[in-house]
A and B are shown apart, each in its own frame.
Chain A
């Protein structure tokens, strides 16, 4: 029969492994989105392919983390902070996986351009700003997870509102340019998709941030889905 101290040690070993894998996963996802944006900016197909590899690594690691979490839950019936750490990891692996998936989608758009941008890259300049905000949000959220820092992510929803506003502005801008034919439709459509992917990534960063607050403080921040928030905003205007 194992003693309580031995059980605790086994759980701690599992939690350590989980934490190491989570940090790697967060780093890989963030790297994927950074590279995806960089690849698109320079229309570098090699970089796009690197993003595809990263996405596969993220997916495989996500599966491994899920298994670790299920083992820990099944074998140790964890409570309190341990429980919150494991359930939070289980939830945010999905967010990190989605972020890598959107990075891959951006990489595919890079390939679609076939190495040549048929139009002036002005539309992309706004997207660059959008991408910077989004990457910063992902960075803040993953750093908060790594350092168990709830305070740094408390206002992440407000940052997301900026991203949402930018998303709408860029969308309008692209549509306007396509309408007055200063931007060809194919390029415009691709930019609209990239714009949308970045906005979704920012939402996943918000999810991660809120889960980190729960993990560290056990507090549930009032959660309004981004979609509902934008609906409310529409109603207000």
Chain B
């Protein structure tokens, strides 16, 4: 199997996979991917549909576990702990690594309850504490000013961009260390996209972000590092500017210049 080009050495990674493979029934979606995700930086994963990028993202917080036929091999470390090892509670893992989906998926409840719900699941909080957490999370997600007078309104009444930021606020409320984003802007217009990208820029000060995106300009804008995957393999991992200016692999070059995919 061809070895990927890894052109940067990442010390003290937040996430590290070694020979990670994932199967859906007999179909191998990820082939022995070894990748170190740098701490408190944004790493983008790009590649054509079906390359395994979303599967890789979901492997990080074991969201693939919910798919019955899914099988994982190899190792994946979060902060040095093998998340597929024994005695790992996926619920606690997911508290550490929040996942944002392509389509905003708020609960059909009030703005306030959307955030409070997750917090109450993990912590016992007084009403006052809860108010504080809700406000703080909404502020962090740059949504507070837009919804502070509509906290009791149904979240489904918000715009698409606001819903997505609400989902980010919901994830932030339980103070994750890692934010996994699966094409978080693909359903949003350019203005809403810019707001999410601004938010990513602020969030990375305190957390590690992995973003899967189809939009290569977005990867170039928000990510310090970029991984290119193809047919389940990691092909190249570099600093984003290097990957887009001087890709090492012909495959990477052909993909990012739009020759296929």
Is residue B69 contacting chain A, with contact meaning CB distance below 8 A? no
- The answer, among A11, A80, A218, for a CB contact under 8 Å with B256, is A80
- The answer, among B253, B256, B258, for a CB contact under 8 Å with A7, is B258
Is residue A83 contacting chain B, with contact meaning CB distance below 8 A? yes
Question: Are A81 and B257 touching (Cβ within 8 A)?
Answer: yes
Given A77-B217, A80-B253, are A8 and B259 also a contact pair (CB < 8 Å)? Answer: yes
Question: Are B261 and A79 touching (Cβ within 8 A)?
Answer: no
Question: Are A218 and B257 touching (Cβ within 8 A)?
Answer: no
Is residue B245 contacting chain A, with contact meaning CB distance below 8 A? yes
Given A218-B245, A218-B246, are A80 and B217 also a contact pair (CB < 8 Å)? Answer: no
Q: State the CA gap A27–B213 with chains docked (Å).
A: 44
Contacts of A11 in B (CB 8 A): 257-258
| CB 8 Å contact bits of A1-36 with B (1 = contact, 0 = none) | 000110110010000000000000000000000000
Q: State the CA gap A83–B217 with chains docked (Å).
A: 13
Question: Are B261 and A80 touching (Cβ within 8 A)?
Answer: no
Contacts of B257 in A (CB 8 A): 8, 11, 78-82
B interface, by DSSP: helix, strand, loop or mixed? helix
Question: Are B253 and A81 touching (Cβ within 8 A)?
Answer: yes
Is residue B23 contacting chain A, with contact meaning CB distance below 8 A? no
Among residues of B, the one whose C-beta sits closest to the C-beta of A78 is B257
Question: Are A79 and B245 touching (Cβ within 8 A)?
Answer: yes
Taking the closest CB of chain A, its distance from the CB of B128, in whole angstroms, is 49
Is residue A84 contacting chain B, with contact meaning CB distance below 8 A? yes
Contacts of B252 in A (CB 8 A): 80
Is residue B247 contacting chain A, with contact meaning CB distance below 8 A? yes
Q: State the CA gap A218–B246 with chains docked (Å).
A: 6
Among residues of A, the one whose C-beta sits closest to the C-beta of B253 is A80
Contacts of A80 in B (CB 8 A): 244-247, 252-253, 256-257
Is residue B70 contacting chain A, with contact meaning CB distance below 8 A? no
Q: State the CA gap A4–B247 with chains docked (Å).
A: 20
A-to-B contact residues, CB < 8 Å = 4-5, 7-8, 11, 77-84, 218
